[in-house]
Amino acid sequence: MVTGIAFLLVILDNSSTSSARLLLNRTMVMSKEHVRRNLLDNGIGHTPPMGWNSWNHFGCNINEEIIRETADAMVSTGLAALGYQYINIDDCWGELNRDSEGNMVAKASTFPSGMKALADYVHSKGLKLGIYSDAGNLTCSQQMPGSLGHEDQDAKTFASWGIDYLKYDNCANNGISPKERYPPMSEALLNTGRPIFFSLCEWGQEDPATWGKSVGNSWRTTGDIEDNWDSMTSRADINDQWASYAGPGGWNDPDMLEVGNGGMTTEEYRAHFSIWALAKAPLLIGCDIRTLDVTTQELLNNSEVIAVNQDNLGVQGKKVKSMDGLEVWAGPLSDNKVAVVIWNRNSYTATVTASFSDIGLESGTSVDARDLWDHSTQSSVSGEISAQLDSHACKMYVLTRN
Ligand SMILES: *[C@@H]1O[C@H](CO)[C@@H](O)[C@H](O)[C@H]1NC(C)=O
Ligand SMILES: *[C@@H]1O[C@H](CO)[C@@H](O)[C@H](O)[C@H]1NC(C)=O
Ligand SMILES: *[C@@H]1O[C@H](CO)[C@@H](O)[C@H](O)[C@H]1NC(C)=O
């Protein structure tokens, strides 16, 4: 009933005669209300999305073979079985010009079979296909049209191809507020009737955590990540400020994973993956998964770390203590468990300690501490948990109360 009232108020607010007629048409109101409820509870985005995106590794150098082979690799590496389901194509998939009817078209030289065929292929592997557009005149590569002013037509095109996820970028935006530019695509996607995960990529420009949840399923809180320590840690810190806004249906997005792209050490990538998992960030792999080395695979395929990210409670873990580069991040999980990351951000080895009071545990509590990277359990731990950590290294635990 409450949503119904809210919806009627929206209609009343828009005082054209057709809206007034709409108000009288209960059938239409009910069906619209149904669609709107689906935005918030449509079975997508209940936990953070997991998958892959082409940008961090390939940039504009993509084609349909790469996408098909990536879908194959997602299955053959075992990553699909761990929950990585979206195969997301970023910028540069389309022709610069729309066709004679104004439709966006796949680039003939690189996607000759077209997007419908590619979606069919990806779906045949049990995976989902994502695509990219922009809430402006052109995409960021300037090699494709944006969707501003073409939202309904483009959403229908994407739905007709069988697209399951849309990343919506922020270039060539005419200086119009994202709060005006993103909702029309949100509505357009809903109106297609196809559940399409809507990923807002307005770079944290107008604090999207504060309004994104009624528009999309995730929102970027930061500018683009780069494959280095400073960029990764600063994305983590900026994103952390918005922790309280995340939850089932809508997630803070500190940008995609760089794990496996070569610019950080293994311990830095382990910290990157651990913090993204704890912060309930989208886990979108950004390396070439057709040629995964064992180290990268073991970072990305840690089912215990993934389980923290996908925990049903959906509460974003956050930085709870920071002293001289020694950090404690923590958050609650379902079944009264607690996830903890201790992290040495210094350039030297140091001991990092999470005292139970830092992570919301009463001092007398005894827990079993599962080390998610070592795959070992310390029984009956109380008071604090502590470890000596190499430069930039972390440990990640799940604490279960005894
Ligand atoms: C009311 O809306 C429904 C759903 O869109 C439509 O099928 C129906 O024809 C409309 N009825 C009137 C009287 O306009
Ligand atoms: C976008 O297109 C509109 C309408 O054609 C035009 O007025 C505007 O200048 C363009 N903006 C940019 C940034 O290209
Ligand atoms: C993770 O990757 C490693 C290295 O390839 C492999 O041995 C292990 O079986 C994989 N684990 C899962 C759960 O897929």
Return the residue whose CA atom lies nearest to atom 7 of ligand 2.
Answer: 174
For the chain, the average pLDDT equals: 91
Q: 157: CA distance to ligand 1 center in Å?
A: 25
Residue 92 falls in which region: left (phi positive, over 0), alpha (psi -120 to 50) or beta = left
* Beta-strand relationship, 251-253 and 283-285: unpaired
Query: Using a 6 Å cutoff on CB, does residue 31 contact ligand 1?
Result: yes
CATH code for the domain in which residue 288 is found:
3.20.20.70
Q: What is the pLDDT of residue 11?
A: 37
Query: Using a 6 Å cutoff on CB, does residue 301 contact ligand 3?
Result: yes
Q: What is the pLDDT of residue 308?
A: 98
What tokens were used for 202?
A: 């307005």
Indicate the residue among 290, 310, 330 that finishes a domain.
310
- Looking at the structure, do residues 304 and 327 belong to the same domain, yes or no? no
- Looking at the structure, do residues 221 and 334 belong to the same domain, yes or no? no
Residues sharing a CB contact under 8 Å with residue 252, sequence separation 6 or more, in sequence order: 209, 218, 219, 221, 239, 242, 243, 245, 246, 279, 280, 281, 316
95 belongs to a structural domain = yes
**pLDDT tier at 363, thresholds 50, 70, 90:** confident
- Our answer to whether residue 358 is catalytic in this structure is no
Query: Using a 6 Å cutoff on CB, does residue 27 contact ligand 1?
Result: yes
Contact (CB, 8 A) for 141 and 149: no
- Looking at the structure, do residues 222 and 143 belong to the same domain, yes or no? yes
- Looking at the structure, do residues 159 and 280 belong to the same domain, yes or no? yes
Q: What is the pLDDT of residue 17?
A: 42
- Looking at the structure, do residues 146 and 179 belong to the same domain, yes or no? yes
- Looking at the structure, do residues 80 and 127 belong to the same domain, yes or no? yes
pLDDT digits (tens, 9 = 90+) for 259-268: 999 999 999 9
Q: 173: CA distance to ligand 2 center in Å?
A: 8
Q: What is the pLDDT of residue 73?
A: 98
pLDDT digits (tens, 9 = 90+) for 300-326: 999 999 999 999 999 999 999 999 999
Instruction: State the closest ligand 3 atom to the C-alpha of 78, by its place in the atom list counted from 1.
Output: 14
Catalytic entry in 72, 152, 207, 224: 224
pLDDT digits (tens, 9 = 90+) for 239-289: 999 999 999 999 999 999 999 999 999 999 999 999 999 999 999 999 999
327 belongs to a structural domain = yes
Query: In angstroms, rounded to a whole number, what is the distance separating the alpha carbons of residues 22 and 288?
Result: 50
pLDDT digits (tens, 9 = 90+) for 215-236: 999 999 999 999 999 999 999 9
Query: Using a 6 Å cutoff on CB, does residue 376 contact ligand 1?
Result: no
What angle, rounded to 10 degrees, do the helices at 26-40 and 17-24 form? 90
Q: What is the pTM of this model?
A: 0.88
**pLDDT tier at 43, thresholds 50, 70, 90:** low
What tokens were used for 54?
A: 């082409």
Query: In angstroms, rounded to a whole number, what is the distance separating the alpha carbons of residues 226 and 80?
Result: 25
**pLDDT tier at 35, thresholds 50, 70, 90:** very low
Query: In angstroms, rounded to a whole number, what is the distance separating the alpha carbons of residues 62 and 144?
Result: 14
> What share of the chain has pLDDT > 90, as a percent?
87
Query: Using a 6 Å cutoff on CB, does residue 21 contact ligand 1?
Result: no
Contact (CB, 8 A) for 207 and 220: no
- Looking at the structure, do residues 293 and 340 belong to the same domain, yes or no? no
Which of 27, 30, 31, 191 is the pocket-test mutation for ligand 1 (most atoms within 8 Å of CB)?
27
Residue 20 pLDDT exceeds 70: no
Print the domain residue range for 382: 318-401
Contact (CB, 8 A) for 41 and 244: no
Q: What is the pLDDT of residue 44?
A: 86
What's the structural domain count of the chain?
A: 2
Catalytic entry in 90, 134, 169, 255: 169
